Every structure is written in C-alpha cells, then in structure tokens.
Amino acid sequence: MSKKYFGTDGIRGRVGQDPITPDFMMRLGWAAGKVFAGNNGNKVIIGKDTRISGYMFESALEAGLSAAGADSLLLGPMPTPAIAHLTRTLHANAGIVISASHNPYYDNGIKFFSAEGTKLPDEVELKIEDMLDQPMRSNDSVDLGKALRIDDAEGRYIEFCKSAVAFATNLKDLRIVIDCANGATYKVAPMVFDELGAEVIPIGTDPDGLNINEECGSTHPDWLRNTVLETRADLGIALDGDGDRLIMVDHTGKVIDGDELLYVIAHDRVRRQIMNGGVVGTLMSNLGFEHALERLNVPFIRAKVGDRYVMEQLLANNWYLGGESSGHIICLDRTTTGDGIISALQVVSAVVETGRTLNDLVSGTGMTKYPQTLVNVEMSERIDVNQIDSIQAAVRDAESTLADTGRVLLRPSGTEPLVRVMVEGQDDNQVEKVANELADVVRQAVNG
C-alpha cells in the first residue's frame, strides 16, 4: 500500500501548509498514541530541534497523545539520535522527533522511533495513517495522559556519546571547531568533546528559532572551514540541524564528506581488527570510495539513496557500518541510528590513536575521490528512461568507454520531471565529455 503522509524519512513540509499544521499534529499525536499503546503502559518521548514552530507542534502532539491516553515525556531541544537512544533507555513505547533536519526554519516535520530506538517499519506507519482517517475521540478524563519534562536528558545523552569511544580516550592535544548549525546539538555537542579533553571552539550555537541551518552546519561548511584556518585548529566538525549527519574539515581547510569519513572509520576498524562484515553505501557513493574498500578487502554494496535503505541493507547482511555521501553515517555497533556526534567521535578517536592528521587518514591511506559530473535533464513529462532503447544503448557505450575505471548512473528525480545523469571516473576530462554526450542523448530521447 502507498502511504499518504509518510515519506522516506517521516512527514515533512512547509509550516502552515497541509499536513504541517497544528490541527494535523494533534490528530497525529492521537493516532500515534492509539497505535503505540501497549501492555506496559503508554508513554511517548517528544524531542525537537530549535526551529520556532517546534513549540507549536510540541504542544499539539502532547494534546493529541493525552487524548489517546498516552503520557508525554518532553525533552526540549535534543538531537534526533538522542531521542532514539532515550526512547530505548527510558523504556518508552515510541519516540517522536519534531524536526526538518537540514531544511530551513520555515519547514518542519515529524520522525518516529520504535521502542528499540529504530525507524518505524512500513506497517506501523500505515497503521498510524489508518488511525488518522478515524474520528478523533478523547478518552474520559480519568484515562487522559499526563506530561512530564525530563530534566536530565542532556546529561544522559552526553554520557552515552562518551561511551562510544574507549574509556581512556583523551582529546587534550586537539583543538576542534564544532559547528552546531544553530540546531539541536548546540548544547550537547561542545560538551561531549570538552568533557573528553579537547579545546573546543563552538560556532553555530546561538539559535533564535529562525537561523537553524542558515549558512552554517553540514550543508554550508564555509564558516567551519574559515574558522578552522583562522584558529589553526586540528579539525572541524559540522553537524546539521537535528544532529544526525556530519561533515568534517581537516587542518588544511579541506572538506571531508560522508564517503571519506566512512572510509576513515572502516579503515580504523580494519586496523584494530574489529571490522565486522562490510560497508553499505548508496547509488551516489563515490567509486573511489568503493575501490579503496576493495583494497582493504572490505565488502561493499549499494542501497537506494536514503538512510532507511542503508539501514535495511545493514540489517539484512548483519553488518554494522554504512552511510551516505551527505554525511548520514550509521555505526550499528555503537547506536541504533545515524548519529553525527558518535560518528565524529569514531573519526576523532582514530586521529588520536594513530597520531595522524585527518588529512593523512583520508588521502594518506588510499582513499581518493573520483571526479564526478552531474547533469540534470528536464523532461516534458515523466518517462521511464530504462525503457528507451537509444538511452540504454548510449549507457552501454559510456560504460564501455569508462571500462572498470568509471561508473554511469541515470536517476529520475522523485519530485521533479527530470533525469539526473551522473558519470564518474578517474579522468576528469573524460568524465565530463561522457556525461555531456550521454545527457544529449537523454535530452533528445525524452523531449523529441
């Protein structure tokens, strides 16, 4: 069955436009409260990022949950992965995150976590949607839910993050710039690294409800890069608005993306002989990353774009490490979901234990990103390019030209009538030439 409200990562949209409205959120809270009710009570954790609409939606969800007889445990601004962790450790029936991740302040959304701290399976999301179609009826007063604010949530999560590295880990010789994107990590991220001994230079830690992700964080690393260079820091860490993705900057100002960070983590696990299984990337993971893992004898498979698809492949293969180029990294041997702080700690721990710079751990150990060219081809109407013979012939020709030194990917947009033509390989000029030639064939075939 197709879903009406839930996308690949919860429910998200523009505040004030259906379904991101207070009345929908109240009904969503009620529907979720009914679906999650269990024999061990009915309590649901609610956390949020720092965007101004979070206050409104927190209250609406709390009202709906109360009407369904569910107790709300309110965390206030907390990273998405913190909510996953606390849902599990506080033995809640579910967790709700009010966040639109790396989107601007005028967007917002809802993500759910199960009692185990994992994303919801499709069948549970469908149950919630089915309940949303039912008339909302409040419980009698004696059966209404209550609300309780959890005052020690930050401390609990900070200690959990610190436990993700060896107890003896000491960052006293590192100067680290941390960009919290004026988002949910603005308190906890600097405290984690400070308590581990680092000299922390925090930026993006002054949220006003409107400046989340604004020219800062993992999607805008220029501020981080400049601050690292100005302060002569050893490295920089950029998180997004809800703290589940990560980009880093080395001491030279080079931006280190998710593929490179995953390689550093995998390489360090191989070095310590604790690498269990392989790595899951996505269709957009760089070919140079795949080839670098091959040299480490680490298996690699590609999932569809989206962290839930990476998670599906990790669970299916009983592997622990995966992620996306955008910096959404999952370390299942440390936690149950993508966590920017915990992923950063894995990288920083490797820096400390090896005595090498972040730059050296990427380029000095065999990871080289291949040049990539992406061309967007607009279509007059949505067409399945896999069914057009001339396009498939051109793809085969492109793959033959690149041989085993490159890769071709045609990826239709999920939201716009266009096809993304992506070509990558070892030779920059060849990659650009092949991409443009293939895009011309696609353009002619889909538009006549």
Q: Which residues of 287-323 are buried (b: 16+ CB within 10 A; e: fewer)?
A: bbbbbbbeebebebbbbebbbbbbbbbbeeeebbbbb
Partnered with residue 238 across adjacent β-strands are 179, 247
Both tokens of residue 273?
A: 């002989």
Both tokens of residue 417?
A: 């009538």
Q: What DSSP state is assigned to residue 8?
A: T
CA atoms of 237 and 260, how far apart (whole Å)? 14
Phi, psi of 411, rounded to the nearest 5 degrees: -130, 105
* 101 is known as an active-site residue: yes
Is 325 buried (19+), middle (13-18) or exposed (0-12) by CB count in 10 A? Answer: buried
CA atoms of 155 and 96, how far apart (whole Å)? 19
Three-class SS state of 64? helix
Which of these is catalytic: 53, 66, 99, 101?
A: 101
CA atoms of 283 and 304, how far apart (whole Å)? 6
Question: Which is nearest to 131 in space by CA: 18, 24, 39, 8?
Answer: 24
CB 240 within 8 A of CB 340: yes
Q: How far apart are the first and last CA of the chain?
A: 35
State which amino acid sits at residue 128. I
Three-class SS state of 333? coil
CA atoms of 242 and 101, how far apart (whole Å)? 5
Residue 65 CB-half CA count within 13 A: 28
Q: What is the 3-state secondary structure (H, E, C) of 334-372?
A: CCCCCCHHHHHHHHHHHHHHHCCCHHHHHHCCCCCCCCE
The counts of H helices and E strands in the chain are 14, 18
CA atoms of 279 and 84, how far apart (whole Å)? 22
CA atoms of 64 and 399, how far apart (whole Å)? 54
Active-site annotation, residues? 101
